[in-house]
Structure 1
Amino acid sequence: MARTESTMLPLGTIAPDFYLKDTNSNDTFSFEDLKGSKGTLVLFICNHCPFVHHVIQEVVMIANDYRVMGIGVIAISSNDVVKYPQDSPELMTEFALENRIDFPYLYDESQETAKAYQAACTPDFYLFDNQNRLFYRGQLDDSRPGNGIPLSGSDLRGAIDALIYNRSLKEPQKPSLGCGIKWK
């Protein structure tokens, strides 16, 4: 299991737009179509990564907890499906169904969106404010497969709470850690 850290895109960066197909609905969406009134969480995931499998239930709980509070949630898979067929759009739909992902799970076939976000790993988390400026990028929490630390989502939940309630955010933000994006 390769360990790759997120690149930590500079805070304040404007969310790169995209136009990608949602494997849950077969509709195509842009960032603007899916953003929330209070902010937007963009996460890069894939079907096969053990780091994603480790966190997916907590991610879905966070999405369910915060979407009702005005946070848009968008998942994107950018992996090369020729070399990693388990990340194909058809299997993305199955993965979403199995894991109760009812927010958009977009397929970035060209990998241009991952490059624009400087995504490096799965999972990789980006939280944007209501002006589409990057407010937080980093880890979900300190839990990793096999390290014995229970999942809490504390870092990401703390960032979303700070955004919603206009609080200062603790520094430094720790990078996410996961499997590297499977580039073409």
Structure 2
Amino acid sequence: MIRLTLVAIAALTLAACQQQAAAPEPADAPAATTAKAGAPPMAGQAAPVFTLVDAEGTERSLADFRGKTVVLEWTNEGCPYVQKHYTGAMQALQREAVADGVVWLSIISSAPGTQGHVEGEDARRWKTRTKGASTHLLLDPTGEVGKLYDARTTPDMRVIDGEGRLVYVGAIDDRPTSKVEDLKGADNYVRAALDDLEAGRPVRTAFATPYGCSVKYPETA
């Protein structure tokens, strides 16, 4: 009798284990290409969706541009590294990209009272003053979006494909100086990434360490 009882218990235990092993994964399990909570999104992962107000006071969401290639550019017109690129090279690349149907979003994450911060009429004059050719200038005075993307310098660049996936993260080029003469012959990683996407090729350089001035985030953020 004892032996029969033990056999029955063992059978029940085995059945329970089999049911547990066969249990499906939760439907809301995160995708493999999603950044872990608190970790900065890297190339190959989904670009976090955000909404910011542009210089004209209109809300712009990354989701609005789904299906298009998007460039994110962190900028600060008071930064010597940004000034180097805005002698003409950055504007030329912006014009080329926008002409090809790319959405170019320049983002200012400088906090109020810090270098590069703009608002109101000053923000509306930014494009004229810098001769910028981006699609929109987005204002991020709290630094929330900059920190979401782990933007560290100005300039700091992101390229997002039509599926909403980051394909490039980092420096604008391979010349980490503020010298205008170093623009000549530089390998522009953003232009290369856009060319690769247009040609249907994998982006050859997906990351490069960014360089420039630190993003002027709020001290308390």
Q: Is the 8 A contact 1:80 1:182 kept in 2?
A: yes
Post-superposition shift, 1:26?
A: 2.4
Identity %: 23
Provide the rounded CA distance (Å) in 1 between the counterparts of 2:89 and 2:166. Answer: 22
C-alpha distance 98-36 of structure 1, shift in aligned 2 (>3 A): farther
Q: 1:50 to 1:36 in 2, by over 3 A?
A: farther
Q: Residue in 2 aligned with 1:3?
A: none
The TM-score with structure 1 as length reference comes to 0.84
Gaps of 5+ in 1: 1-6
Structure 2 residue ranges without an equivalent (≥5): 1-38
**SS of residue in 2 equivalent to 1:74:** strand
For residue 95 of structure 1, report the CA deviation from its aligned partner. 3.0
Q: 1:77 aligns with which of 108, 124, 127?
A: 108
Amino acid at match of 1:170: R
Higher strand share: 1
Aligned length: 175
1:52 has 2:88 as partner: no
Show CA shifts across 1:115-156 (max 9, x none). Answer: 111111110000001011000112222232138422456221
The CA deviation at 1:75 is 0.6
Deviation at 1:10, TM superposition (A): 1.4
Give the TM-score normalised by structure 2: 0.71
Pairwise CA RMSD of aligned residues? 2.3
Of the three residues 83, 104, 115, the one matched with 2:147 is 115
**Greater C-alpha Rg:** 2
Matched, 1:40 2:61: no
Say which of 155, 163, 173 aligns to 2:189: 155
In 1, Cα distance between the equivalents of 2:131 and 2:66?
Answer: 20
1:63 aligns with 2:63: no
